[in-house]
Amino acid sequence: MSNSVSVVYIHGFNSSPASFKAQQVRKAWSQLGLPAEQLLIPELHHHPQQAIAQLQVAIEQLERPVLVGSSLGGYYATYLAERYGLQALLINPAVRPHRLFDEFVAEQENLYSGERWLLTDSHLQALAALEVPPPRDAQRFCVWLQTGDETLDYCLAEQYYAGCSVHIEEGGDHGFQRFSEHLPALFAFVGLTPSALQSLDLSAFE
């Protein structure tokens, strides 16, 4: 039943629950009449260890939620989905981010809160500790990639998640253009039936 679904949305690097995709998920959730307490979008700490601890608390609050992760949130979602045996929908997910962040080891600023913080080797070591082998139970994972991602090489995710349900769109960007058009597919993956999705009015997202 639609009222039994639950989701933990996991935002990306230097992002927040105020991000565009997070807010569109929240808006659609409300439009569908789903219980507000069944959608959790934690404001994650910048250090991976603390972020994972926050996400574990969120997962334990819900009954086997579906994880939806964007960018670095996709990396976190993969680790947690494997640990808890959960389903995960990943949007332009980061793959082995600790190998990509060398040029970012410096002061950072959250794009939404304005918080300034220092990315250090401790962050990279914590990220490396979260790396898991490519998923074996591929049916639990759905991966959305856009080839125009200017931040991450989509080919890395295409290779890592080979065997999973991987959807690749030409063009786009790291923020995943035309995200609202994908909301019906997102909620179908979460577990809503076609009849439950009839109240979703995409014109409200234009």
Task: Give a yes or no: residue 96 inside a domain.
Answer: yes
Structural domain span for residue 183: 2-198
- Nearest alpha carbon to residue 161 among 177, 139, 179: 139
pTM: 0.96
Does 24 score more than 80 pLDDT? yes
Q: Show contacts of 167-171: CB within 8 Å, 24+ apart.
A: 167/142, 167/143, 169/144, 169/145, 170/146, 171/146, 171/147
Residue 67 is part of a domain; what is its CATH number? 3.40.50.1820
User: SS3 for 96?
Assistant: coil
Per-residue confidence (pLDDT) for residue 1, from 0 to 100: 41
- pLDDT digits 0-9 by tens, 47-93: 999 999 999 999 999 989 999 999 999 999 999 999 999 999 999 99
The Cα 123–Cα 48 span in angstroms is 6
Instruction: Kindly indicate the confidence band of residue 206, based on its pLDDT and cuts at 50, 70 and 90.
Output: confident
Instruction: Kindly indicate the confidence band of residue 32, based on its pLDDT and cuts at 50, 70 and 90.
Output: very high
Task: Give a yes or no: residue 28 inside a domain.
Answer: yes
How large is the average pLDDT for residues 103-129? 89
Task: Give a yes or no: residue 203 inside a domain.
Answer: no
Per-residue confidence (pLDDT) for residue 136, from 0 to 100: 84
Does 199 score more than 60 pLDDT? yes
**The tokens 């819900």 sit on which residue?**
62
Q: Mean pLDDT lowest for which of 3-7, 123-127, 158-162, 192-196?
A: 3-7
Quote the number of domains for the chain: 1
Task: Give a yes or no: residue 206 inside a domain.
Answer: no
Identify whether the C-beta of residue 23 lies closer than 8 Å to the C-beta of residue 10. Answer: no
